[in-house]
């Protein structure tokens, strides 16, 4: 089928929920993807911070092939080995004692919201339900996580929202302290706001939030759906801040490209759930868990990938800073590891399109923030290629 026909079918049959590029991707290998016309692109989107090991990593592919031949799905009324092994490895590698698996980021957030309310009522025996979240946050699109997401433009037209969320400015621990009341049961925050424009808080912010949660018996819940799994140069972003949460949500980079989400908690917080209190049909299925396990084992065994994401991030950020010093329309560059942003004083769409024409996939969030989140296995030469291309594009402006 020729590309224009595929795009016509897309118009005809798909709901109009995304501003998609007119591009049909048919193959990926490592840091590169290929379209239906055979063009090659360097991928600085990575399925939105998802393909951390690049596309079709051989170890993930083999794990999927083997597991697909053995067992793809069974009910959570039974045990399956990939789910247990994956939970064990996540526990070994994090603050957590217990794991609940689901299929996506938003489901992990829903699980966290339910756990927080139930923890307060069933474990602490205090009837509290409010969760404090941050302005500019992004926690997902289902009704609970949408209510947690303090962005009016995403919530508008979907009211009434799920009640029980209180919004405060990001990067302001004092505002969290002032917002705590007798209804508050948890604080939910991203270590770096991803969709909100790659907003990095001050050093000490997460530690202050941890302190507030301890003082008021609140669950400290980190949404590491975008920042987790090595993206920021540590396995989890909370490691930079030298804090440990009670609850953490993972998804995106967890599955090596497969759809999977997870809620990780301390054993104390995990007491909230008992048989029947929460569940899912597909969550923790053997196929997705086998892919995630292969991806996780690869990252753990190769002890270069995560620190090199930090090193490459520093090189990349320096390159972006250099561009900023030469183009006045660049308002700021920021980020950590391989989650970087460049804020422009105009809409970034045209730059995304220009990069596409040059063979680079990049993303733009909040209209004016170019976001770069390549696979963690990218090379510094590939980063240079993008920086040179951006320079050429900016020069023509």
**What string marks each residue from 232 to 261 as x (binds ligand PLP by CB under 6 A) or -?**
-------------------xx---------
Minimum CB–partner distance for residue 395 and ligand PLP (Å): 32
**What string marks each residue from 85 to 124 as x (binds ligand PLP by CB under 6 A) or -?**
-------------------xxx--x---------------
State yes or no: residue 371 binds ligand PLP (CB under 6 A).
Answer: no
What is the Cα–Cα distance from 335 to 372, expressed in whole angstroms?
9
Among 116, 225, 354, 364, binds ligand PLP (CB under 6 A): 225
Contacts of 292 (CB under 8 A, 6+ apart): 86, 254, 255, 256, 258, 260
Minimum CB–partner distance for residue 148 and ligand PLP (Å): 9
State yes or no: residue 194 binds ligand PLP (CB under 6 A).
Answer: yes
Closest CA relative to residue 106, chosen from 144, 132, 133: 144
In a 3-state reduction of DSSP, which class is residue 391? Answer: helix
> Which of 44, 165, 223, 372 is an active site residue?
223
Residue 349 annotated to the active site:
no
Minimum CB–partner distance for residue 229 and ligand PLP (Å): 12
Among 139, 210, 240, 334, binds ligand PLP (CB under 6 A): 139
In this chain, which residue has its C-beta nearest to ligand PLP?
A: 105
Contacts of 273 (CB under 8 A, 6+ apart): 100, 115, 118
Residue 220 annotated to the active site:
no
In a 3-state reduction of DSSP, which class is residue 210? Answer: helix
Q: How many angstroms separate the first and last alpha carbons of the chain? A: 36
Minimum CB–partner distance for residue 199 and ligand PLP (Å): 12
> Which of 44, 100, 138, 273 is an active site residue?
138
Residue 95 annotated to the active site:
no
Cα angle for residues 201, 204, 210 (degrees, 5° grid): 100
Closest CA relative to residue 239, chosen from 299, 305, 192: 192
Output DSSP code: residue 17.
-
* Interface residues toward ligand PLP, by CB under 6 A: 104-106, 109, 138-140, 190, 194-195, 223, 225-226, 251-252
């Amino acid at each position: 089928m020729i590309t224009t026909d595929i795009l016509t079918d897309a118009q005809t049959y798909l709901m109009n929920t995304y501003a998609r590029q007119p591009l049909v991707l048919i193959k990926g290998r490592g840091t590169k993807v290929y379209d239906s016309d055979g063009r090659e692109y360097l991928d600085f989107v990575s399925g939105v911070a998802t393909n951390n090991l690049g596309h079709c990593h051989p170890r993930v592919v083999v794990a999927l092939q083997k597991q697909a031949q053995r067992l793809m799905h069974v009910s959570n009324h039974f045990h399956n080995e990939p789910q247990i092994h994956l939970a064990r490895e996540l526990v070994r590698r994090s603050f957590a004692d217990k794991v609940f698996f689901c299929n996506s980021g938003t489901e992990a957030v829903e699980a966290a919201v339910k756990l927080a309310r139930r923890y307060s009522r069933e474990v602490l025996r205090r009837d509290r339900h409010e969760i404090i979240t941050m302005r500019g946050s992004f926690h997902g699109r289902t009704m609970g996580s949408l209510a947690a997401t303090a962005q009016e433009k995403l919530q508008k037209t979907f009211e009434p929202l799920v009640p029980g969320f209180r919004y405060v400015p990001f990067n302001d621990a004092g505002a969290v302290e002032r917002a705590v009341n007798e209804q508050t049961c948890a604080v939910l925050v991203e270590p770096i706001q991803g969709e909100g424009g790659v907003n990095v808080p001050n050093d000490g912010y997460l530690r202050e939030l941890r302190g507030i949660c301890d003082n008021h018996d609140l669950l400290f819940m980190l949404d590491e759906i975008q920042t987790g799994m090595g993206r920021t140069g540590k396995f989890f972003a909370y490691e930079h801040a030298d804090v440990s949460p009670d609850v953490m949500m993972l998804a995106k980079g967890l599955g090596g490209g497969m759809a999977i989400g997870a809620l990780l908690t301390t054993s104390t917080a995990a007491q909230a759930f008992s048989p029947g209190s929460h569940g899912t049909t597909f969550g923790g299925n053997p196929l997705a868990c086998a892919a995630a396990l292969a991806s996780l084992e690869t990252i753990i065994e190769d002890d270069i990938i995560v620190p090199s994401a930090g090193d490459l991030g520093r090189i990349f950020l320096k390159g972006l800073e250099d561009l900023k010093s030469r183009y006045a329309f660049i308002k700021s560059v920021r980020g950590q590891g391989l989650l970087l942003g460049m804020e422009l004083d105009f809409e970034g769409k045209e730059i995304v399109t220009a990069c596409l024409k040059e063979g680079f996939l990049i993303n733009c969030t909040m209209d004016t923030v170019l976001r770069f989140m390549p696979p963690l296995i990218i090379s510094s030469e590939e980063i240079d290629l993008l920086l040179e291309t951006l320079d050429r594009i900016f020069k023509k402006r």
